[in-house]
Structure 1
Amino acid sequence: MHAVYPLTLAALLFAVGVYGLLARRNAVAVLMAVELMLNAVNLNLVTFSALLRDQFGMGQVFTIFLITVAAAEIGLGLAIVLMLYRNRGSAAVDEARELGEDGALGLKRLPAPAPPADSETDKAVAS
């Protein structure tokens, strides 16, 4: 078996996934790009397993494990994106960067309390 064709395809899939991860602003498109990169890794695992004629099929075993992890990741990621869209009205990744400051429900931060005003006696003592 020639390993050049599937490895080239996997490299192209991974490159498209990296481009999608770096260039997209929509969270669903970012999740699809991550899934594309994981599928490129799966293709590499199966290719090297067939190329090395592994008698235990460890490439296929790792591929099945990685497909399971990817399915769980997509399920959890889509649930987070759905809640983000419901609360904020947008699935843009740039707007989700403030989740640590504003909270997951889109609540606004309270303004900082104002410092106490100086009384007239404090002004007289200071001068």
Structure 2
Amino acid sequence: MVRVLIVDDSLALLGAFAMAYEKMGCQVTTCQTVAEALKAIATGDFQVVHLDDNLTETPPGGSRPHEGSRILAPMALQQGCKVIGCSGEEVDEDGKPLWPVEVAAVVIKPVSLVRLIDLVGPVVKGLGS
């Protein structure tokens, strides 16, 4: 069973995304804060980290809000996780990609659960779900 960590500060989205991953047969853990996610990723217990780009809190050691994904994504990759980036946009205001690291898939919100499964299903299946 593929172990997935979902990080999003929206409780509604956490529930919806968890439902989609569970439909694919995954074991799901959710976090609403960067601090929770840092601890969870450090355990090395996850194969996939589904990460919101727009976490609104200022992360530990960060200087401003919205830096959480830029701290969490490289950490997840170091742990050997596949990273699924989730964002409302594909690029920032300067036209640069939002994700500073290699990601397995990018989910652009709003997204239906059917579309989410289409996007991330191949990543999960590739890990043996």
TM-score w.r.t. structure 1 length? Answer: 0.25
More helix by share: 1
Point out the structure with max Rg over C-alpha: 1
TM-score w.r.t. structure 2 length? Answer: 0.25
More strand by share: 2
